Every structure is written in C-alpha cells, then in structure tokens.
Amino acid sequence: MPNRANLTLRIAEPSDLDQTVAIIREATEWLERQGILWLREFPGATPQRVANGTAWLAYLDGTAEPVATVALETTADPEFWTPQESNALFVHGLAVRRSAGGLGVGGKLLEFASDQAARRALPWIRLDCNKANKQLQEYYLRQGFTYLRTVNLPHRNSGALFQKSAERSAAIIADPRSGCIAVNLAEGDDNQLPS
C-alpha cells in the first residue's frame, strides 16, 4: 500500500495521453459493470483536454503510475449551463483507479479544483454527472456541492448539475519549479467516491 500522506498533481502532457485514457477506461468499465453508462463514445473529450492542457494526473507518494485524473476548464458546456453560470471552473472527467479507492483521492481532487477556482478569482466550481448515478450525486452532496437541476437531453447521459463555492485550501501547496502541486491526504476523507 503506498504512503497516503501526499498526492502530487501535474498537468498531463501529450505523452501522458495513454495513461490518462487508461484511467478513464478503467472507470468507464467499472461503471458499466454497475449498470451505469458514463461515456457514449470512448474516450470522450479526454484527448482534447490533454491537448489543451486542462487535464491533470494525480500520483500517490511512492507510486510511479498515476492513480487519478481530472480536467479543469473555464468554458461552460452550453447544453447545461446558462451564460450567467459561466463564471466558474468546470470539473470534468474525474476518475480514480480502483487501486486508490477509499483513500480520499476524489475528495482531494475536488478540493484542488475549488482551490484552483479561488486562485483564478472564480466564485464557483461546477460539474455535471450522470442523471442515473444516484450514488455519485449523493457523493457530490457529501462533498459540499449543491444540486441545481437536471437537464434531460436524449443524446447525453449526463445532466445532473452541481456547484460549490470556490475557496483556497491550506492542503494545496504549489511547487513553481516543477509545476507540480502537492495535496496533503493526511486528514483522510470519510466521503469516498462510490465503490
């Protein structure tokens, strides 16, 4: 078991695309076994997010391979968000490898997103998730998000919309020399991603 004291995040480079897609694939296949369809077209927007520099990879101390990914974007999906709701950092493609389940990685990635939004002077972090995945929706509520509404589009599985106020976190430490960000996991997280 890797040391869970720290999680290191860095922006995914184009050479990291295969690893990033592998994390998304593992999560997609796991959800399908639970009867939940995440992506209608695999790998979704992941390649574009890596190319745009908006996808991040997360590593636990003592691991050489990334255990999670998340994308943070400032562009609102116009099918879900109104122009008045575009003043946010949008969370996409958050996925944690099963090997890191139960360590609080998902919650810390959301804390990281909130910190990044606050650093950019954005008041909110917003996300959408599968309309049918009630466990995931409950997880976001436990993480302090507020449910806004569900947008029903026949060509999209997603559409349950959530938001949370952005705030700085003392657990987030940037290293300007490496471009990496350290997140302290020592406090733990009782609100795990559904397993």
**C-alpha atoms less than 13 angstroms from C-alpha of 95 in its C-beta half-sphere:** 22
pLDDT score at 189: 47
Return the structure tokens found at 75.
């562009």
CA dist., res. 5 & res. 119, Å (int): 24
pLDDT score at 2: 44
Domain ranges of the chain: 6-184
Angle (CA) 184 17 113, round 5°: 35
> In Å, what is the CA distance from 38 to each residue of 9, 46, 131?
24, 13, 10
Find out if CATH 3.40.50.20 is the number for domain 6-184. Answer: no
The pLDDT tens digits along the chain (195 residues) read: 344 468 999 999 999 999 999 999 998 898 888 887 777 677 789 999 999 999 999 999 878 899 999 999 999 999 999 999 999 999 999 999 999 988 899 999 999 999 999 999 999 999 999 998 999 999 999 999 999 999 999 999 899 999 999 999 988 888 777 778 888 776 544 444 554
Give this prediction's pTM. 0.89
pLDDT score at 17: 96
- Asked if residues 108 and 171 have their Cβ atoms less than 8 Å apart, the reply is yes
